[in-house]
Amino acid sequence: MLLGVLDHLPLALARAVLAALRGRLSALCWGLTPLVLPLLSWRRRSGPDTPAAPRENKDETVPTPTSVNYHFTRQCNYKCGFCFHTAKTSFVLPLEEAKRGLAMLKEAGMEKINFSGGEPFLQDRGEFVGQLVQFCKEELKLPSVSIVSNGSLIRERWFKKYGEYLDILAISCDSFNEEVNVLIGRGQGRKNHVENLHKLRQWCRDYAVAFKINSVINRFNVEEDMNEQIKALNPVRWKVFQCLIIEGENSGEDALREADKFVISDEDFEQFLERHKDISCLVPESNQKMRDSYLILDEYMRFLNCRNGRKEPSKSILDVGVEAAVKFSGFDEKMFLKRGGKYVWSKADMILDW
C-alpha cells in the first residue's frame, strides 16, 4: 500500500518521504533491541531440541527434572571423612541402560545433566563417563553437560577425546594446604591435589571447558583464607558447601563414615563466606539451601529423597518411568530456583577467557 501511494508522488518528494521513514524505522529497531536480544538468547539457550510446550497428560504437581545429578558409581579412590555418597555398593548400570535412562529424562524435560559419584573417572578409566558425556551432548543435545570429580584420575587424552562435549568440569578442592587435604582424606600417596588442580585448570583452557571448583567447608579448613588461590585459578563458579550430615552415609550405625568431627556451625560458615566476600563467582550453599533442592539419581537410576536427613530411594526410572519416580524424590522446585540452581550452564552462552 505504501508503494502505491509513493507511485503518485513526484520523485524528489517520494525520496524525502522514504528517507524520513527509514530514519524512524531505524530508531524503532534500536529501541526494541533490549527487548529482542534477551528473547533471542533465551531461544538459543532453549535450543531447537528442548521441549518447549508442556507434555500432554503431564501431572502438573510433579516437578520437572530440569537439572539432574546422576551418581552412576559410588566407588572412589579418595576417603574424605565427610563424604555423603559412600561406596555402599559397587554397582554400575551397563552403558546402554544408562543411556536409555538419560533419554527418558530428556523426554521428561531435563536440560542439564551432572555426572557425579563416587569418582566418575574410576569406571573404565574415564571411558564410561566420556561415552555418556558424548551421548548427552551429541545425541540428546542437552544444553548443559557437566562432571564433578576429585580430578586425580583425569588425563589429557580424555580432554582430547571428549572435551568438546563437556560444558563444565567441577573439581573438588577443600584446601590449598596439602596437609589439610591429607587430614580430610583427599589425597593419595605422593600425588599433590593442589598441583593437579592447576594442571586441570590449564587443560580446561586448552580444550574450552568451563572450570568450576567445589569446596566443602568443615572443621579443618574453616579458618583458611583461599582468596589468592581462587583468584589465580579464576573458575567460572566456586561452590562453597557447608559440611552436611546424612544419616546412613556419614553418620549413624550403618554409615561408612563418621562426619561428626567435621561439622561446623552456621556462624562458622558465615565467617568463612565473609572472609571471601570479594570473590564474585562464589556461590554459597548452607545446609538449609542444600536440602531438597537437588535431584539426585543413584547408581540404579532411583531418585534419592533426602527430606528426612537420610537418602530414601524411589523406584528406578527404568522400571516405573520418570514421572512416577520423581514424585518420590522429595525435590522442591522452588528451593532449587531459590538457591540459584538455574544459571548460565551452557558453555555456548558463557564468556570464557580461553
Strand 312-316 relative to strand 302-305, pairing: antiparallel
88 binds ligand SF4 (CB under 6 A): no
Among 6, 45, 78, 315, binds ligand SF4 (CB under 6 A): 78
Among the listed residues 262, 264, 232, the one whose alpha carbon sits nearest the alpha carbon of residue 250: 262
Taking the least distance from each CB to ligand SF4, the nearer of 87 and 208 is 87
Q: Which stretch binds ligand SF4 (CB under 6 A): 40-48, 114-122, 198-206, 266-274?
A: 114-122
Where do the H-state alpha helices sit in 114-169? 127-134, 156-162
Cβ contacts of residue 37 below 8 Å, gap of 6+?
none
Among the listed residues 154, 182, 180, the one whose alpha carbon sits nearest the alpha carbon of residue 166: 154
Among 63, 101, 109, 118, binds ligand SF4 (CB under 6 A): 118
Among 68, 70, 76, 219, binds ligand SF4 (CB under 6 A): 76
Among 67, 73, 150, 218, binds ligand SF4 (CB under 6 A): 150
Among the listed residues 65, 135, 44, 61, the one whose alpha carbon sits nearest the alpha carbon of residue 107: 65
Among 63, 65, 117, 120, binds ligand SF4 (CB under 6 A): 117
- Site size for ligand SF4 (CB under 6 A): 11
Taking the least distance from each CB to ligand SF4, the nearer of 85 and 302 is 85
Q: How many helices (H) and strands (E) does the chain have?
A: 13, 10
172 binds ligand SF4 (CB under 6 A): yes
Taking the least distance from each CB to ligand SF4, the nearer of 137 and 237 is 237
Q: Report in angstroms how near the CB of residue 44 gets to ligand SF4 at its nearest.
A: 34
Give how far the C-alpha of residue 59 lies from the chain's centroid of Cα atoms, to the nearest Å.
26
Q: Report in angstroms how near the CB of residue 108 gets to ligand SF4 at its nearest.
A: 27
**Lookup: cell for 314:** 524411589
How far is it, in rounded angstroms, from Cα 2 to Cα 332?
55
How far is it, in rounded angstroms, from Cα 291 to Cα 310?
10
Taking the least distance from each CB to ligand SF4, the nearer of 63 and 238 is 238
Q: Does the annotation count 243 as an active-site position?
A: no
83, 173, 243, 306: the active-site residue: 83
Bond before 118 cis per omega within 30 degrees: yes
180 binds ligand SF4 (CB under 6 A): no
29, 76, 173, 204: the active-site residue: 76
Among the listed residues 135, 146, 136, 143, the one whose alpha carbon sits nearest the alpha carbon of residue 168: 146
Taking the least distance from each CB to ligand SF4, the nearer of 238 and 325 is 238
Q: Which stretch binds ligand SF4 (CB under 6 A): 13-21, 115-123, 207-215, 226-234?
A: 115-123
Among 101, 111, 112, 119, binds ligand SF4 (CB under 6 A): 119
Helix axes 127-134, 95-107, angle to 10 degrees: 30
Q: Report in angstroms how near the CB of residue 185 gets to ligand SF4 at its nearest.
A: 7
Taking the least distance from each CB to ligand SF4, the nearer of 86 and 346 is 86
Taking the least distance from each CB to ligand SF4, the nearer of 85 and 276 is 85
Per DSSP (E only), the strands in the chain are: 67-71, 112-116, 144-149, 168-172, 210-217, 237-242, 282-285, 296-297, 302-305, 312-316
Q: Report in angstroms how near the CB of residue 42 gets to ligand SF4 at its nearest.
A: 34
Q: Does the annotation count 76 as an active-site position?
A: yes
Q: Report in angstroms how near the CB of residue 30 gets to ligand SF4 at its nearest.
A: 51
Is the Cα dihedral 80, 84, 85, 88 positive or negative?
Answer: positive
Q: Does the annotation count 80 as an active-site position?
A: yes
User: In one letter, which amino acid is 21?
Assistant: L
**Lookup: cell for 144:** 548443559
Q: Site residues (CB under 6 A) for ligand SF4?
A: 76, 78-80, 83, 85, 117-119, 150, 172
Catalytic residue annotation: 76, 80, 83
